[in-house]
Amino acid sequence: MENITKFQNDFQHSLSISRYLFTPIYSLVLFFGLIGNLGALYYFIFKIKQKSPSNIYIINLAVADMLFLFALPFRIHYHLNDSNWIFGDAMCRITGTIFFANIYISISFMTCICVDRYIATLHPHTYLQLRNTNLTALVSTAVWLVSGSAMLVFMLKCPLTSKGNMCFEGFSQKEWSDLAPYSISSLIFGSLLPSAVILVCYPIVAHRIARIKNSTARGARRIIYAILAITLLCFLPYHIVHLVYLLTRLKNTKENDVIFILRRVTMALVSLNSILDPLLYYFATGHYKWRLKRLRLRKKTGRYRSCKTVARVLCLVAREWLGSCQ
């Protein structure tokens, strides 16, 4: 009982931080995120008839962002009212689960885009074979099924809070112990592994694309660095701080103000991915006219015979991602 009281006192002491940090940031994310992601969905669904694997992953990423934006008005109201939840337990579970699941769904589809670009750039022959299969749809379905199953378990099994008017906050040590398996599993499989793939694959792709001296290659590198920036800015800081925060709770250590503030700041940063994701769509479609080209191997040889032709393949792959080769 003393532990619960201690944690609740710490939480109540920091309510003003949450109110003045989350309310303006979430409001901006909601406004600009709706504009960017609705525009992206309209463009990629209705304007692009022949969709590449990256197009499909971008559509899924935008859908995940829209689900996250659905939960934001509830969180904004919650923080405006000094963390007083009035929408009932069911909506707390639904919106809270969607809010945190977006982190892992978004980074999963960004990883899919990463792997797609990696294969297209370093293994163009394999890419030609895979892009005409149902592999992209199967991968997208698998991401949603795994994420949906985890969300359902989290929604039904995890505690809401140790106090009736809070939602996914103010947990006691026992409740943090109950949350630990979900948090650790999410950290490993939902963040560390995808982040490792992104941080390893994209520099390799960037190095390969750097050999192509044209505007398309420069644009491709901009997208590569943009995704790296989103990963480093939005996702990794949150999970690092969340891990430290979780360990302090499990050890029954008094939460200090620095950890609390860092956790709040990184939670605000992670929400910015719904604004930054549309910037990736803009890089892909804004300055360049999106052109979908099928890459065809020569029927007689079944392969490309020269380094010059291979460079052309890489140029066309980048062209599919950004625009036309100059």
What pLDDT digit, counting tens, does each position of 206-230 carry? 777 777 665 555 656 676 777 888 8
pTM: 0.77
Q: In this structure, are residues 239 and 191 in contact, taking their beta carbons and an 8 Å threshold?
A: yes
Rounded Cα distance, 221 and 39, in Å? 24
How many CB atoms are closer than 10 A to CB 20? 11
pLDDT of residue 253: 60
Rounded Cα distance, 35 and 32, in Å? 5
Rounded Cα distance, 7 and 254, in Å? 8
From the list 296, 314, 106, the residue with the least C-alpha distance to 221 is: 314
pLDDT single digits (tens) 69-81: 999 999 999 888 8
Distances (CA, A) of 77 to 22, 97, 105, 207, 260: 10, 17, 24, 46, 21
8-12, 39-43, 97-101: range with lowest mean pLDDT: 8-12
pLDDT of residue 307: 44
Q: How confident is the model at residue 67 (pLDDT cuts 50, 70, 90)?
A: very high
Residue 115 CA to its chain's centroid (Å)? 15
Rounded Cα distance, 193 and 88, in Å? 35
pLDDT of residue 25: 93
Q: Flag whether pLDDT at 312 surpasses 60.
A: no
pLDDT of residue 283: 66
Cβ contacts of 274 within 8 Å, gap of 6 or more: 29, 33, 36, 37, 65, 68, 69, 102
Where are the chain's structural domains?
Answer: 2-293+301-321
From the list 4, 109, 15, the residue with the least C-alpha distance to 62 is: 109
Q: Flag whether pLDDT at 137 surpasses 80.
A: yes
Q: In this structure, are residues 319 and 217 in contact, taking their beta carbons and an 8 Å threshold?
A: no
Q: How confident is the model at residue 103 (pLDDT cuts 50, 70, 90)?
A: confident
CA angle 39, 44, 50 (to 5 degrees): 165
**Phi, psi for 145 (deg, rounded to 5):** -65, -45
From the list 137, 41, 119, the residue with the least C-alpha distance to 320 is: 119
Q: How confident is the model at residue 100 (pLDDT cuts 50, 70, 90)?
A: confident
pLDDT of residue 50: 77
pLDDT of residue 164: 60
Fold category of 2-293+301-321 in CATH: Rhopdopsin 7-helix transmembrane proteins (1.20.1070)
Across 82-111, average pLDDT: 86
Q: Flag whether pLDDT at 10 surpasses 80.
A: no
pLDDT of residue 310: 42
pLDDT of residue 76: 92
Rounded Cα distance, 280 and 106, in Å? 13
pLDDT single digits (tens) 225-278: 778 888 888 888 888 888 888 777 777 666 667 787 888 899 899 999 998 888
Cβ contacts of 2 within 8 Å, gap of 6 or more: none
Where is pLDDT greater, at 316 or 148? 148
Rounded Cα distance, 253 and 270, in Å? 25
Tokens, residue 204: 């390799």
Residue-averaged pLDDT of the chain: 75
Q: In this structure, are residues 109 and 61 in contact, taking their beta carbons and an 8 Å threshold?
A: yes
Rounded Cα distance, 162 and 174, in Å? 10
Across 123-149, average pLDDT: 85
Q: In this structure, are residues 100 and 266 in contact, taking their beta carbons and an 8 Å threshold?
A: no
pLDDT of residue 138: 93
Across 102-127, average pLDDT: 83
Q: How confident is the model at residue 162 (pLDDT cuts 50, 70, 90)?
A: very low
Q: How confident is the model at residue 158 (pLDDT cuts 50, 70, 90)?
A: low
Across 142-166, average pLDDT: 75
